[in-house]
Amino acid sequence: MHDRPSRRTVLATAAAISAALATGIPSAAARADALGAADRRRIRALIGRMSIEEKVGQLFVMRVYGSSATDPAPDDVAANQSQMGVSNADELIARYHLGGIIYFGWAHNTQNPHQIADLSNGIQRAGLTHGTPIPLLISTDQEQGAVARVGAPATLFAGGMALGADGSTADARTAARIIGTELAAMGINQNYSPVSDVNINPANPVIGVRSFGADPAAVAALAAAQVRGYQSAGIAATAKHFPGHGDTGTDSHYALPVITHTLEQWQSIDAPPFQAAVAAGIDSIMTAHILVPALDGSGDPATLSHPILTGVLRERLGYDGVVVTDSLDMAGVREKYGDDRVPVLALKAGADQLLNPPLLDVAFRGVLDAVASGELTEERIDVSLTRILALKLRKGLFRRPFVTHEGVDRVVGTPSHLAAADRITDHGITLLANDARSLPFPRRSHRQVLVVGADPAAPSGTGGPPTAVLAAALTELGHPARALSTGTAPSPALIAQAVAAAGGMDAVVVGTYNVTAATTEQIALVRALVATGVPVIQVAIRNPYDIAFLPPTAASLAAYGWTDVSMRAVARAIAGRARPTGRLPVAVPRADDPATPLYPIGYGLGY
């Protein structure tokens, strides 16, 4: 049974969070994270043995190319030499005394679970071999759905908004526990998840389906559930992107967004999920490269803002855990200051971990120079270092830094985990329209189905393009289907090909991807398919707003994702093997009047 909160519960939760924000009550995290006297002595002794270079190095979390810590492929060696002046992870850690490494698929870090475990072990071996022996925090962005750095055979879920449509805190916690357990088995001990932004802007280009939704209380409940799930698995969760990246039309990877919320709006919309994460004992919080004039009128992004990171997060919300910057190679944090100044200003603002600067040597020397000049004191460095070392102690890294292939095989991609992912994903599929009860397909008809539409890239190790995965899943369920990829901007020739292929079919399923008034090609495709007279089932495979811009179809589903697990869930809903019980976690506005909802939060049909 789903434990979706009632309206009364949602309002009570929002009121309690607002009261806590207003009074600045000390967080549960600050109390729960208190270390014993022996651990505090151990940290002080460790810091006492470290050089200033080692201390500063511990604050940095850096990318590195290659599938091996000591023997990467030649192209990865070249990339490391070009960007960092070293050949591999072992040399990088030895030179800069890094406190953390972040994994990316494009850096060839995450090819398969055994390789990831071996890479993690090599990284930990380097940390314990060079200089003062300290294990590393190994992190990644395993949000699921649109952002997943580790692909199959690891268990993959549908992502934040699909969980928001599910509405179950139990499902959210289960998903995080499974993800965390599998990451831990591969030696990844810090996940940059859950996304805790409240996505109230349908045009948001960077958050969207990564968010749980647009209801602050619901997002807060789901974020807290995921924090508990991840951390019950022994890894550090990270709520992001503070103070809230959900109402912007600008991508902070490429520019500096401005959030125009008043202080009251921030308190009621953006703050609740972070306050809930803090109360749940969150290990780390990631900053956002955004301007929030209501919180800081200086023109500095939140990552570099003392009023936001110290005044609001530390003092007002009572958070004393690790603060990690969003990636310092993003344009949103580099517009105003040079790459040598950005890490210094982040530390002065209240950050602890400095994530992925574009030029590590420039950033590293910048911090050292600031200490040498007195702009940053060594005592200030020690404050962040203490938080980082305390987190490593709590995660057991000094006791158990290494992982095994046997441990990987025991938990990664197990049948029970995969079954849980399918079950939870089923709960989020949302039925928005079903004219003349076109769904589910009757068992003995609809023997020929055409699947067309967009095929955005999916994480590595998936079963292929979404249209092919959906067609194969429908075929397996007794509705033989043919796949035809038409892309996000189908040409007139491709549209004509799709129309011709629809002839003689019992139904057409069309996957649409981020449709707006400007995506005229996808609109033309759906219009042409409807004109054939064949029943058309439209599936929004990313943002759920597509239906507002499209001509009426026989039925419409929102899947909130396009990876294999979502496509299989769509097939089960179409075939009647699972009921679509999801409810919109965001409002879908009218195309001709964006201020008016076409479908409100909580809308969803069933059968």
- The answer to whether residues 211 and 219 touch, using CB atoms and an 8 Å cutoff, is yes
Average pLDDT rounded to a whole number, residues 339-355: 98
List of residues 6+ apart from 40 with CB closer than 8 A: none
pLDDT at 459 (0 to 100): 62
Looking at the DSSP bridge assignments, the partners of residue 239 are 285
Q: How confident is the model at residue 111 (pLDDT cuts 50, 70, 90)?
A: very high
Residue 24 has pLDDT above 70, yes or no: no
| Model confidence pLDDT, tens digit, residues 253-309 | 888 989 999 999 999 999 999 999 999 999 999 999 999 999 999 999 999 999 999
Q: How confident is the model at residue 332 (pLDDT cuts 50, 70, 90)?
A: confident
Question: Side chain identity at 593, as an amino acid letter?
Answer: D
130 is catalytic: no
Q: Which of 141, 326, 340, 564 is catalytic?
A: 326
pLDDT at 221 (0 to 100): 98
- Mean of per-residue pLDDT scores for the chain: 92
pLDDT at 34 (0 to 100): 58
Give the H/E segment covering residue 386.
helix 378-394
Domain boundaries, the chain: 33-411, 429-599
Note the CATH number of domain 33-411: 3.20.20.300
326 is catalytic: yes
DSSP string, 23-53: HTPPPHHHHHTPPPHHHHHHHHHHHHT--HH
Q: Which of 39, 253, 382, 422 is catalytic?
A: 253
User: Between 29 and 126, where is the model more confident?
Assistant: 126
Q: What are the E-state strand segments in 106-172?
A: 137-140, 142-144, 147-148
DSSP string, 316-362: IS---SEEEPSPTTSGGGTSSS-TTTHHHHHHHHT--BEE--SSHHH
- The answer to whether residues 139 and 192 touch, using CB atoms and an 8 Å cutoff, is yes
Global pTM reads 0.92
Out of 3.40.50.10300, 3.30.360.10, 3.40.50.300, 3.40.50.1700, the CATH code matching 429-599 is 3.40.50.1700
